[in-house]
Every structure is written in structure tokens, then in C-alpha cells.
Amino acid sequence: MPDNKLEGSIPSFSGAKNVHTIELSNNRLTGTINSTHWRNLTKLSSLCLNSNKLDGNIPASLFSLPRIDLSNNQFSGPFLKFLMCPPPC
């Protein structure tokens, strides 16, 4: 659902166990990325949340995904080491 001017926080996808891709880029999503939203998504391989207004820390567990794009947001915290060296570091 990219480019749809969606607003608000990221909904929980924990009940959608067969989801492979989440594409919510270029919207107006705000708030933090809660690690519990992704807990049961064992088949998730691609997460695109770029170009939103997300902030806070990025859960380390997301960096194990084969494809992740979180660019053009307002994140903070100790996540740069994961960009340089994927877990385990």
C-alpha cells in the first residue's frame, strides 16, 4: 500500500503469519516500530517503511530480514552498528 497518504501508527501484523512482504513506503505513518508487531511473521522477507515519519529506535530483530528499507524517516538510537555489521556482531 505505498503512496496512499496513510496516516497514524503502524498497525500490528502479528496475526498475519503468512505475509512475505509489507510495503508501506511513501505514506505519512508516525510513531515507533514496535517489535511485537512482527513477532509471529516467520515468513516475512521484505519490509519497506521508507519515506514516512517514523521515529524512535529500530528493533534489532528487523535487521535479519533479507530486504529492509527504512530510509527517509526520523529514527534515533544505537542502530548504526547493525547497518555496518548485521547480527550477530
pLDDT of 89 higher than 50: no
The mean-pLDDT minimum among 4-13, 36-45, 78-87 falls in: 78-87
Give the pLDDT confidence score for residue 60 in this predicted structure: 81
Q: Using pLDDT thresholds of 50, 70 and 90, give the confidence band for residue 84.
A: very low
Structural domain span for residue 48 = 7-84
pLDDT of 85 higher than 90: no
Residue 63 is assigned to a structural domain of this protein: yes
Mean pLDDT of 39-56: 91
Residue 89 is assigned to a structural domain of this protein: no
Residue partners of 29: CB distance under 8 A and separation at least 6: 6, 7, 8, 9, 10, 49, 52, 53, 54
Residue 12 is assigned to a structural domain of this protein: yes
CB 33 within 8 A of CB 54: yes
Residue 70 is assigned to a structural domain of this protein: yes
pLDDT of 62 higher than 90: no
pTM above 0.85, yes or no: no
Total tally of structural domains belonging to the chain: 1
